Every structure is written in structure tokens, then in C-alpha cells.
């Protein structure tokens, strides 16, 4: 029995999409397909699913809105677990709970409608709440780690509540990068007038207007301590460098833009940039983007 049939048999009601296209579900717009994607609708279903995939040793990975993900080319006999049905948003008077599949835009709108400030710096970041917790997304002023009270996640097939310390947040990292599926997060909420929230949101959005357009994963590399990866790449003369359909943006050298290229093109370009930067400056750039690593067929 194939993986999709196996999952359909075990989870008859689960949201499933066969032949799931990676290029259609990632902002970089390249990559092949996986046998199926499955979308649990609550924490219990996510736990049962992850336990089953682990026990059967079925190759799988997790996906939010795919804004920081470099998929693989080819067809993978594997499963993608998505958060897109985990869309709950609740404010209990003290804290705001958002399901992992809530997008940044929906989170900001809900917060503004309820007069809850503090999320404005995330305006315009393409993200799901789950992906943002995994990546500790944010901008200079504020990261997810600054607003998280608890993260609800599935680890080893069990539902667990992580304190901020146990999330082990760092620069573009967290404990959730170790095969733990985020189900949702509880956020600190600061009461604030809606007009003020909307004004600050507009300011943060305006700051992003200068970012490169086109298909990308945002910043490719983490900024080395006290430096800008984009400026380092620029100083090495790599703006505009291309492999196949992928090139280093001329506007912001930490962005790789894909115009019809393959994942192999993007991957090779990343390697070349790293090699050139290392040989010219001695700096080894750390990748911010996350690669989907699944078994091929
Ligand atoms: C144009 C552009 C601008 C950007 N600007 C910024 C910025 O200003 N600041 C910033 O921090 N980032 C930025 N990014 C990167 C990206 O928006 C963030 O990293 C965001 O948090 C990714 O969320 P996502 O849902 O797309 O994650 P995905 O790309 O779907 O996933 C990222 C990683 O998390 C894993 N994952 C996703 N969901 C879950 C889950 N529920 N449980 C466990 N693992 C999961 C995936 O397997 C993958 O390893 C930008 C990207 C783009 C394309």
C-alpha cells in the first residue's frame, strides 16, 4: 500500500491532497512534488498523525506557508504535514492564542480588531504562526520570542506545552527545528488603541517597500554578529550572479530571486555564494532558509 492509501486508511477524515506541488506552495516557486500532504485539524489529530508517521518510519516534513523553505526537485514518496487547517484565534482577556496555520496577516488583523498591540513589527512578513515560531521570525525591533508565552506542539507523538525557555529561541532558530510539530502559540497581548496599531502597522509595512520583488525566500543567510550578510555578499561583487533561472538580487544581495529555475539552480547558487564569501573574506555564512529533506523515489 502506498503512503497516501495507508494514511487514508488510518485517518479517513483527515484533510489530504495527493501529488502535492512544492513549487505551488513555496514563495521561491520551484521544486517537485510529494506523494501527499495531510492537514490535521486539531492537536489530537496532529499527535496521532505524527506518532503514526514516526512508528511507520514514513518520510515526512512540515510546512507552513512556505516562505522560508527550499524544496527538492523530483517526486518524493513522502508526506508533508501542513498547518493550514489549524486556524483558531482566541483572546481570553489576557493572552491571545493562535493556531499554527494562522497567517501573519490574519494575526495582525485579529489583534488590531481587539485593540491588541505588539504584533505590528511582523507586518508584511509572509508567515504562518507555526513557521514563525520555528524560525523565531521578526525584525530588528521584535522577534516572536519577545511575545510568546507558551508554544503548543507535538513531540514524540505527544502534545506538549513549551515555556519560552524550553523553546530555545535564538537567531533564526528554535527547538522546533528538531522534528517537533507546532500546533499553536499563546502570545502576550498589550492593550492599545486600534488607530495607533494601524498607524504602526503602516509604518512597518512602508519600511518593507524597498525589499526586492519576485519569488524568493527572503534573506538567504543569517547576519553574522554585528554585520549584514547582504553587504558582505555585495562587497564580494556577487550581486546579479546567476545559475540557471536563479540570481542574486541586485537590490538586496541576501535575496535570491527565482525566475523559472529549479531547486538545484537555487541550491548551487547558494553554494557558490558561500564559497566565494569564504574565500574572499574568511566568513562562513550560515543559511537561514530551511531545506525540505525527504526521500526521493
Ligand atoms: C519576501 C520575504 C520577506 C521575508 N522577510 C522576513 C523578515 O523580515 N523577517 C523574518 O524573520 N523572516 C522573513 N522572511 C522569511 C519567512 O517569512 C519567515 O521565516 C516565516 O517565519 C516563515 O514562515 P512559514 O510559515 O512560511 O514557514 P515555512 O517556510 O513553511 O517553514 C519554515 C520551517 O519551519 C518548518 N515548519 C513550518 N510550519 C511548521 C509547524 N507547524 N511545525 C513545525 N515545523 C514547521 C518547516 O518545515 C521549515 O523547516 C521573509 C520571506 C520572504 C519570502
122-138 pLDDT tens trace: 999 999 999 999 999 99
Quote the pLDDT of residue 91. Answer: 96
Q: What is the predicted pLDDT for the residue at 293?
A: 83
Ligand 1 mean position to 132 CA, how many Å? 6
Stated as kind and residue range, the H or E segment containing 49 is: helix 43-55
- The candidate with the shortest Cα–Cα distance to 18, out of 10, 9, 8, 26, is 8
| Model pTM score | 0.97
- At 87 the pLDDT is 97
pLDDT digits (tens, 9 = 90+) for 226-266: 999 999 999 999 999 999 999 999 999 999 999 999 999 99
Distance 170 CA to ligand 1 centre (A): 15
Structure confidence at residue 294 (pLDDT)? 84
Q: How far apart are CA 297 and CA 293, in angstroms?
A: 13
Tens of pLDDT, residues 138-189: 999 999 999 999 999 999 999 999 999 999 999 999 999 999 999 999 999 8
Give residue 27 CA to ligand 1 midpoint distance, Å. 10
- Which atom of ligand 1 sits closest to the CA of residue 216? 53
Res. 94: pLDDT tops 90: no
Report the separation in Å between the CA atom of 288 and the middle of ligand 1, taken as the mean of its atom positions.
Answer: 10
Instruction: Count Cβ atoms below 10 Å from residue 204 Cβ, excluding itself.
Output: 19
> Per-residue DSSP letters for 21-37?
ESGGGSTT----EEEEE
Q: Is residue 296 pLDDT above 80, yes or no?
A: no
Q: With bands split at pLDDT 50, 70 and 90, how would you rate the model's confidence at 1?
A: confident
CA of 1 to the centre of ligand 1 (A): 33
71 close to 267: Cβ distance less than 8 angstroms? no
pLDDT of residue 261: 97
**Pocket residues for ligand 1 (CB within 6 Å)?**
27, 61-69, 83, 100, 125-128, 130-132, 134-135, 137-139, 176, 181-182, 216-218, 290
- pLDDT at 269 exceeding the cut of 60: yes
- Residue ranges and CATH numbers for the domains of the chain are 3-82 (3.30.43.10), 89-209 (3.30.465.10), 212-291 (3.90.78.10)
Q: Whose CA is nearest to atom 52 of ligand 1?
A: 218
DSSP state at residue 149: E
Per-residue pLDDT at 63: 98
What are the beta bridge partners of residue 190? 117
Per-residue pLDDT tens over the stretch 183-212: 999 999 899 999 999 999 999 999 999 999
Amino acid at each position: 500500500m502506498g503512503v497516501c492509501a495507508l494514511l487514508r486508511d488510518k485517518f479517513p477524515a483527515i484533510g489530504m491532497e495527493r501529488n502535492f506541488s512544492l513549487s505551488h506552495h513555496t514563495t521561491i516557486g520551484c521544486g517537485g512534488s510529494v506523494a501527499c500532504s495531510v492537514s490535521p485539524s486539531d492537536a489530537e489529530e496532529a499527535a496521532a498523525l505524527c506518532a503514526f508517521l514516526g512508528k511507520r518510519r514514513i518520510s515526512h516534513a512540515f510546512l507552513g506557508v512556505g516562505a522560508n523553505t527550499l524544496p527538492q526537485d523530483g517526486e518524493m514518496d513522502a508526506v508533508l504535514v501542513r498547518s493550514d487547517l489549524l486556524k483558531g484565534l482566541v483572546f481570553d482577556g489576557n493572552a491571545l492564542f493562535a493556531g499554527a496555520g494562522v497567517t501573519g496577516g490574519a494575526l495582525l488583523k485579529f489583534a488590531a480588531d481587539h485593540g491588541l498591540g505588539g504584533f505590528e513589527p511582523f507586518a508584511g512578513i509572509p508567515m504562518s504562526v507555526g513557521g514563525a515560531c520555528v524560525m523565531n521570525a521578526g525584525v530588528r525591533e521584535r522577534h516572536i520570542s519577545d511575545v510568546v508565552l507558551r508554544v503548543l506542539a507535538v513531540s514524540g507523538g505527544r502534545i506538549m506545552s513549551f515555556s519560552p525557555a524550553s523553546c530555545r529561541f535564538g537567531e533564526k532558530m528554535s527547538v522546533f527545528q528538531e522534528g517537533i510539530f507546532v500546533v499553536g502559540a499563546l502570545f502576550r497581548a498589550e492593550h492599545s488603541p486600534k488607530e495607533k496599531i494601524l498607524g504602526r502597522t503602516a509604518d512597518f509595512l512602508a519600511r518593507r517597500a524597498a525589499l526586492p520583488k519576485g519569488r524568493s525566500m527572503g534573506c538567504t543567510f543569517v547576519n553574522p554578529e554585528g554585520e549584514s550578510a547582504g553587504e558582505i555578499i555585495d562587497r564580494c561583487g556577487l550581486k546579479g550572479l546567476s545559475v540557471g533561472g536563479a540570481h542574486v538580487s541586485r537590490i538586496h544581495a541576501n535575496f535570491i530571486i527565482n525566475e523559472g529555475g529549479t531547486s538545484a539552480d537555487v541550491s548551487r547558487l547558494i553554494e557558490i555564494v558561500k564559497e566565494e564569501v569564504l574565500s574572499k573574506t574568511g566568513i562562513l555564512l550560515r543559511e537561514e532558509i530551511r531545506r525540505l529533506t525527504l526521500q526521493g523515489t
